[in-house]
Structure 1
Amino acid sequence: MRSGRWWRAWLAALLTACVVVPLSGAVRPGIPAPAPARIEAKTPLPVRYAAHRANAAEAARTARAAGAERRAAALRALSGHAFLEFDARGPGRTAEVLGDLRTADRVAILVPGSDTGIDTYARFRRGALALRDELGPGAAVIAWLGYETPGTVSPEALTSDRAHTGAARLRAFLDRLSAYGLRARTPVTLLCHSYGSVVCARAAHGLGPHGTPAVTDIALYGSPGTGFARAAELRTRARVWAGRAAHDWIGDVPHARVQLPGTTVGFGPDPVSAAFGARRFAAGDGDHSGYLKPGSTALASLARIVRGQHPEVPHA
């Protein structure tokens, strides 16, 4: 029975169950880290990269001194990376560019979903590297971890609170890209995974191919919903795409949005449904974490979207 009462009961039970995880983690002390490097927006990129690498190295030493060996190891692994932005405090916030932003003929920005931070950054970066390799020379990929992602099993993963903050930070980052060297009119695509699709949906208003930057496409994949009933409600002039792999567990999550006392739980209609109105792309038979796996159908489709090749498929 798919009544409103059934959905309300299911979501309320899930929200109650999720409270255990963040409460058990809330008592853990934070890992100390230095403040981010202070850099002017138009600082030359080599100087910017060097400053952030030095900050990451300092953060690794600080974490090791505090006995946080896992965090220290994760930070040491960032040596040599080209960070446009870097902050080791808390779960961590970063923006790494793979390729040359100043000469790129098109740019893809990856917006991650839940459980992504410095400790799990290697996993996120592997997807960015796979996309860069799929796109080939001339393109740049930005792995944007610019917001505090929710835990997969947490109340925050069921509400849009983190997405509101993330969307504001994503818009601010887009505004800074020209200062970082992105050429005017270079096509930019937002590739938004899982909870990241909620972030992108809230950041989409007003974005388009004639803006600064020129956001031509927004692709939502592995999405729990966006918080909007239809793609048109995103109020963007960019093309909106949606795809979901055949073995992605997110397809079994009820696509509902229910008002509970003090909060709204869930994100509404399924973005891959015909009723939502997004362009649908083939995502293959992978799982929730396999969209950017080398050789996958999803990776090939996303690369075609970035290239402007429009791999649209009919709705089922």
Structure 2
Amino acid sequence: MSDELAEQFRASHQVLVAARDRLQAAVDAGTATNDQRTRLDTVKELLTPVKTTAVDADGNVTEVERPRQFLKVDPEGQGRAVEVLGDLQQAQHVAVLVPGTGNSLDTARGLADRGDLVRAEAGPGTAVVVWLDYDCPQNVLEAARLEAAIEGGPRLAEFLGELDDLKADDADVTVVAHSYGTDVAAQALLAGARPDRVVMTGSPGLAKDIDEAADFMHPETRLYTERAPGDYVSYTEWHGTDPATFPDAVRMATSDPSGNDAAPVQWHDEYYRLNSEALRNIGRVVRGDLTSITTTKTSRAEETKLVLGTSWGDPLNRVVRLASAGVAALTKPSRASASAAQIAANRANGADRISRSEGRRR
């Protein structure tokens, strides 16, 4: 481990220790609020190594104790954290998880568990970074607006740039974003981020004028999406067109195409379910096993068909679109502004390198 990385881990550990001692003193003095007591439990948990399973190079599943490694942590307010699972400097594949609505420092353990599932599915040589460095919306009303994404996206783009100096030079990077996290990821891409691949699950749409990956992504970054049957968040398309319908995205299956699915995925929060096709496909993208991905083209109507052939997915979409038409929109990137942002990003990040690679392809 490099001195720089070790120092970041040590500094974050010290922040947590100081927070634990301060909160414990308030509890001992009888002055702690309920929120402070909850945060104390959270901080203590973040200081405790996690017992989990790992797959070795021979395919054997073993139980291991994983230390908590934070590149950054802020225990104040809603709280923020950037946690590393695995050996970031030795990994050949790095996944960056971007969570959505309802998350805070108090849900960091659950997010880390999700990261462990992705890491195990992707296999040996994978590290996962759980990126919780923005103020997640805490309810539906907050999630209906893009303010948090607009604020958090550039920060994610900056982190992805810093990640290049922390990981192995030849390691690839996949951003795995869920729900409102897909909006944050989209803003990061508009700000010039260039991961190798992006996975978006359960997205409410990215912006009113983004209808394809080419509207907001660098041409060398590939988009993979998942929409599970019954995912009401995706059906609303509250922020824009569902990325699962983009013509230049790969829409991955969330259920085993053979029909022998031991862990069927439905609704909004099951994409990372153990032994599911949804999680298997995410793992395939992270490790670059792209030819093994299974795909689907089911429609909202097919996914939500009820008795007598009726469907609730399309009516929900129409109702939400009517409702959102009456909501004052924030400044959202149009196709023109997205293109302009991409051109600027290309210039800032070395368009000459792109030209050389395109020349080789020609």
| Fold equivalence (TM over 0.5) | yes
Q: Deviations over 1:214-238 (max 9, x none)?
A: x211111010011122221013220
One-letter amino acid of the structure 2 residue matched with residue 313 of structure 1: T
1:151 paired to 2:138: yes
The corresponding residue for 2:68 is: 81
Q: Separation in 1 of the partners of 2:11 and 2:119?
A: 24
Q: Separation in 1 of the partners of 2:243 and 2:164?
A: 31
Shift of residue 287 of structure 1? 3.0
Provide runs of 4+ in structure 1 moved above 3 Å.
205-208
1:271 paired to 2:243: yes
Shift of residue 87 of structure 1? 1.3
Shift of residue 77 of structure 1? 0.3
Q: Separation in 2 of the partners of 1:302 and 1:101?
A: 19
The corresponding residue for 1:61 is: 21
Aligned with 1:178 (options 153, 161, 164): 164
The corresponding residue for 2:202 is: 222
Contact 2:213 2:248 in 1 (8 A): yes
Larger Rg: 2
Q: Separation in 1 of the partners of 2:83 and 2:224?
A: 24
Q: Which moved more, 1:120-129 or 1:100-109?
A: 120-129
Task: Name the TM-score, length of structure 2 as normaliser.
Answer: 0.67
Q: Note the 1:1-316 alignment, pairs <5 A.
A: 43-64=3-24, 65=26, 66-67=32-33, 68-79=36-47, 80-154=67-141, 156-179=142-165, 181-205=166-190, 206-208=192-194, 215-227=195-207, 228-236=210-218, 237-253=220-236, 255=237, 266-273=238-245, 275-284=246-255, 285-310=265-290, 311-316=293-298
Q: Separation in 2 of the partners of 1:225 and 1:252?
A: 9
Q: Deviations over 1:206-261 (max 9, x none)?
A: 444xxxxxx211111010011122221013220011111123232442x2xxxxxx
Give the aligned length.
255
Contact 1:53 1:78 in 2 (8 A): no
Q: Separation in 1 of the partners of 2:82 and 2:193?
A: 20
Contact 1:207 1:238 in 2 (8 A): no
Greater RCO between the two (CA within 8 Å, min separation 6)? 1
Shift of residue 286 of structure 1? 3.0
Q: Separation in 2 of the partners of 1:142 and 1:186?
A: 14
Shift of residue 174 of structure 1? 1.1
Contact 1:101 1:140 in 2 (8 A): yes
SS at match of 1:44: helix
SS at match of 2:156: helix
Q: Deviations over 1:115-142 (max 9, x none)?
A: 1111111211110011111122211001
Q: Deviations over 1:15-47 (max 9, x none)?
A: xxxxxxxxxxxxxxxxxxxxxxxxxxx853233
Q: Separation in 2 of the partners of 1:120 and 1:217?
A: 26
Task: Name the TM-score, length of structure 1 as normaliser.
Answer: 0.76
SS at match of 1:272: helix
Q: Separation in 2 of the partners of 1:189 and 1:269?
A: 22
Q: Separation in 1 of the partners of 2:279 and 2:296?
A: 18
Shift of residue 188 of structure 1? 0.1
One-letter amino acid of the structure 1 residue matched with residue 74 of structure 2: D
SS at match of 2:140: coil
Contact 2:97 2:129 in 1 (8 A): yes
SS at match of 1:183: coil
SS at match of 2:76: coil
Q: Which runs of 5+ in 2 are unaligned?
A: 27-31, 48-66, 256-264, 299-362
SS at match of 2:198: strand
Q: Deviations over 1:142-174 (max 9, x none)?
A: 1110111002322x2112111011111101111
One-letter amino acid of the structure 2 residue matched with residue 232 of structure 1: A
Contact 2:91 2:125 in 1 (8 A): yes
